[in-house]
Amino acid sequence: EGIAQIAAAFYPKEVIVRFSDFKTNEYRNLVGGKLFEKEEANPMLGFRGACRYLNKEFQPAFSMECQSIKRVRERFGLKNVSLMIPFCRTLKEGKKVLELMKEFGLERGKDGLKVYVMCEIPSNVILADKFLEIFDGMSVGSNDLTQLLLGLDRDSALVAKVGDERNEAVKEMIKRVISICKKKKKYCGICGQAPSDYPEFAEFLVEQGIESMSLNPDTVIKTTTELAKKEKQLKYQKIKL
């Protein structure tokens, strides 16, 4: 019902729902979690996202997620709800998740259902054109992409300061993804802290042609106002050319 309320409030505009992406340490911290979850040395790189959905033991839980979305789309008629697959390491994994979703009643393309994939692993960037053959677009997960590209443990305070999305290597990866999505005429957005923390990074995204970005509530008005000015400036420059 929570998803339905949000989808109804924004109808007919698209509302993207990302499937669960809890890590083993987060599940272990839940009541009774230690009975079901094994301890991992680095949960950020472990049993999470797409590979968890494909695990036989977790499939009943993933089935419930799919059924809840199916109910929102079919019972409430909120076909503006689209889906997002997080932490999908390989093309094979992506295809298998789509097959499993179909088995659970959610078929990409049926009744206009769009399925996107998070772009938060270097493999997603390198093979972006191939991922876009099986998904309807990408949303850059700048937090995870930064740590994986720069070889960081985001949970380690010792190296946390190195993890800056404004790093030129990170920006080049994001630039590449946006370019490929535009070329393929597929959706490209970004989820992450950077646009809220760094106004210049948000401007960089607009310059590259990003379609949407996540913002913290306390930065929405200020950032969107500044970005509107930036977009107006870019349009004027194009007309002038």
Q: What is the pLDDT of residues 164-191, one digit of tens each?
A: 899 999 999 999 999 999 999 999 999 9
pTM of the model: 0.92
Lowest-confidence pick of 58-67, 127-136, 148-157, 175-184: 148-157
Residue 133 scores a pLDDT above 60: yes
Instruction: Indicate the CATH number of 2-240 among 3.40.50.720, 3.20.20.60, 3.30.70.100, 3.20.20.370.
Output: 3.20.20.60
C-alpha span between 182 and 178 (Å, rounded):
6
* pLDDT for the residue numbered 212: 94
Residue 4 scores a pLDDT above 60: yes
* pLDDT for the residue numbered 239: 66
Q: What sign has the CA pseudo-torsion 48, 122, 223, 207?
A: negative
Q: What is the pLDDT of residues 59-75, one digit of tens each?
A: 999 999 999 999 999 99
Which tokens is 134 given? 């099986």
Contacts (Cβ under 8 Å, ≥6 apart) of 66: 101, 104, 105, 106
Mean pLDDT across the chain: 93
Give residue 58's identity as a one-letter amino acid code. Answer: F
Question: What are the boundaries of each domain within the chain?
Answer: 2-240
The packing angle between helices 199-208 and 220-240, to 10°, is 40
| pLDDT class of 238 with cuts at 50, 70, 90 | low
* pLDDT for the residue numbered 240: 59
* pLDDT for the residue numbered 241: 55
Nearest alpha carbon to residue 74 among 111, 122, 119, 27: 111
Contact 188, 177 (CB under 8 A): yes
C-alpha span between 77 and 171 (Å, rounded):
39
